[in-house]
Amino acid sequence: MAMANAKAADGWVAGIRSIFLDADGTILDFDEAERRALVRVLASLGLEPTEGRMAAYHAVNRDLWRRFEAGTLDKGVLQATRFLRYLDAIGVPVPEADEGPRLNARYLEWLAESPLILPGADLFCRRLASRYPLYLATNGISRTQRLRLERSGLSVHFRGVVVSEDAGAPKPHGDFFRHALDRAGVEEPGTVLMVGDMLETDIRGGAAAGLRTAWFNPGGHPVPDGVRVDLVFRSLPDLPDRLGVP
């Protein structure tokens, strides 16, 4: 790195006072936790976890979350109807109307039981927490996310937890970040580094709220035009390395 860039980078790093960390896909392995919970839901219905059935769930769920994040679907409705829509999509008759909420509750219980952490996440959090107050900043259901963090063993590294359900809005909405800054007692958003794996929610949302951003990009994808991201890292140890944290 050229000297001018190194100096600029040092100044940039020195301005960071705290870190907001995304959970799923950054330190927690949501995909695997979700897969295991879904396998158990299907088993409870006497169904094999075929690839088609697993894929159908993701399609239904993604559609519902997209509508929730766009503000056109209520969280309660999402939770109450998610499994009804899913059973319908895979051609399984629903025995009773309240089976949807019941299946969803069971699914969330099982999801919370699988706090699988991504490789290297413990050391990653430990290193960052040795220099910065760390706050978890995650979308999702408050009780589920808090239980997962608790059971992951990573909660000791965090000063606080902010879940979209408590914030009243999910990332990338400004309300989420305002709530998180408030919870962390931060007055100047530019002193916070938002770290996460999702360009749309973590990076675009964080930047729009005035935070600095670091994109966890293990796939090495190019940064799309029009997205402002301050730092891109491909493996977890890269970030503390580049922040100069031992």
Q: What is the token pair recorded at 118? A: 């991504």
**Listed residue (106, 135, 30, 202) closest to 229, CA to CA:** 202
Q: How far is the CB of 33 from Mg ion (least distance, A)?
A: 13
22 is annotated as an active-site residue: yes
| d(C-alpha 211, C-alpha 195), whole Å | 10
Q: Which residue among the candidates 22, 24, 29, 197 is catalytic per the annotation?
A: 22
29/100 with CB nearer Mg ion: 29
Q: How far is the CB of 23 from Mg ion (least distance, A)?
A: 7
Q: What is the token pair recorded at 33? A: 């936790």
Q: Name residue, tokens 């970030």.
A: 239
149/198 with CB nearer Mg ion: 198
Contacts with Mg ion by CB under 5 A lie at 22, 24-25, 197-198
List CB contacts of 51: < 8 A, sequence separation 6 or more. Answer: none
Q: How far is the CB of 52 from Mg ion (least distance, A)?
A: 26
Residue nearest to Mg ion (CB): 25
Q: How far is the CB of 139 from Mg ion (least distance, A)?
A: 8
Phi, psi (degrees; rounded to nearest 5) at 171:
-55, 140
103/162 with CB nearer Mg ion: 162
Task: Give the angle 159-107-59 at the CA atoms, nearest 5°.
Answer: 100
22/34 with CB nearer Mg ion: 22
Angle between helix 30-44 and 99-112 (nearest 10): 140
- Active-site residue numbers? 22
